[in-house]
Amino acid sequence: MSAPVYKSFDQSLAEFEDIAAAVAPISVQELKARIAKLQGLMREEGIKATYLDTSTSLTYFTGMTLGASERLHGAIIPVSGEPIYISPAFEEPKTQTLIQIEGQIAVWEEHEDPASLVAQLLCDLSAEGDSFAFDPMTPFVFSSAITDQVGDRLKVRSAKAIIATCRQIKSATEIAIIQAAMSASLRVHKAVWQGLREGISTTEVTDFIAAAHAKLGMRHIFSAAQFGEATAYPHGVPYPQTLKNGDMVLIDLGAHIHRYCSDITRTYVFGTPTERQRELWTLERQAHHAAFNAAQLGTPCEEVDFAARGVLTDAGFGPDYKVPGLPHRTGHGLGMDMHEEPYIVRGNKTVLEPGMVFSNEPMLALYGECGVRLEDIIYMSDIGPVFFTEPSLSIDQPFS
């Protein structure tokens, strides 16, 4: 192995500085364009109003971020006109400070039923028999209560498809933010590689990753450090490990800038790889490469999964989701949520279009032995797939 020049985690942290402050956020003009696009899709589908709960989609369309709680708080997007924000009355002053897209605030007092308020607003925006839609992330306790209050006056639909149509096509600004997040997180990845030493614990590694993201001005989302046999399990094991010479190492991490996520996984060996480790890593790289080559404009998402899975099946692993092999989908969309549309999975006939962003991570899992996952994020340009970050060249050169 081309061993890295050792650099302690403290040394790397001292070199990191805030990069997020220089990244341009989403403008109010872009937020308005998003609402206009949603309203256009609502007109096409005959939807008179869409209720957005305290989910990522509320932030995506309005720029407002609210914390989920037992109190109903959100917004209604009518098929035309400004949003109507729903707020507990005592939270109205705070809600007012969060508004980026102008709109009225409808409030409810603590003793009142907010579902009744929302239902009345939806009916006021519609004629009897019209349709309204729920953000699919609306908690059932709210959607069921609102639906009960609406009764048979309106038809209830899901806004899943129209929201996904908007969110899964990224603008140039979104691509630029994700690029900044990905580039910064790759620096953290390389610092982990350089700072590994025999006897280090997975807890020390994940603590460093969180500190490094914070030093770069990013909001840390998650990190996973897996050593040896623990690398076999896609989401790790519920106990820390200590690094030994010859261990397979799997590091997965993510953070965000302006709510846009990074997500990168690297797998390599601490020490000199065995022939078995080298063979498994190389096969995983071939599956990763096949997925990238299959990800062409106009190709259904499921074909990308088929391409990666086929490489592993031809080598005697699987088939399908059987282990040893690839036990999960090949990828997921990425944006303001770590996992979002489009999903790279069998059955997804959605065709790849410019602006789509998704992961390429066809993991090779061998329970009881080890696992290899190489995860890079792809965006679809006007001419085809592009990686945000340079993939690993080999098990000996995980970072270019």
Mean pLDDT computed over every residue of the chain = 98
- Spell out the SS3 assignment of 151-214: CCCCEEEECHHHHHHHHCCCCHHHHHHHHHHHHHHHHHHHHHHHHCCCCCEHHHHHHHHHHHHH
pLDDT for the residue 1: 45
Please state, for a pLDDT cut of 90, what percent of the chain lies above it. 99
Q: Please state whether beta strands 364-366 and 357-360 pair in parallel, antiparallel, or not at all (unpaired).
A: unpaired
pLDDT digits (tens, 9 = 90+) for 107-161: 999 999 999 999 999 999 999 999 999 999 999 999 999 999 999 999 999 999 9
Taking only the tens place, the pLDDT of each residue in 8-22 is 999 999 999 999 999
91 token code pair = 């939270």
Strand partners, 132: 49, 156
**Each residue of 45-91: pLDDT tens digit?**
999 999 999 999 999 999 999 999 999 999 999 999 999 999 999 99
For range 370-385, the mean pLDDT: 99
The torsion region of residue 369 among left (phi > 0), alpha (psi -120 to 50) and beta comes to alpha
pLDDT exceeds 70 at position 221: yes
Q: Calculate mean pLDDT across residues 384-390.
A: 98
148-164 per-position pLDDT tens digit: 999 999 999 999 999 99
pLDDT at 233: 98
For residue 3, the model assigns a pLDDT of 80
Residue 310's SS3 state is helix
398 preceded by a cis bond (ω within 30 of 0): no
List residues bridging with 219 in a β-sheet. 256
Predicted pLDDT of residue 400: 79
How far is 293 from 297, CA to CA, in rounded Å?
Answer: 11
- Cβ(18)–Cβ(217) below 8 Å: yes
- Please enumerate in sequence order all residues whose Cβ is within 8 A of that of 314, keeping only pairs 6 or more positions apart, or say none: none
Sign of CA dihedral 123, 41, 71, 31: negative
Residue 241, pLDDT above cutoff 60: yes
Closest by alpha carbon to 290, among 321, 326, 252? Answer: 326
Tell me what pLDDT residue 2 has. Answer: 60
How confident is the model over 290-310, as a mean pLDDT? 99
Q: Using a pLDDT cut of 70, give the percent of the chain over it.
A: 100
Please determine, for residue 205, whether its predicted confidence score (pLDDT) is greater than 90.
Answer: yes
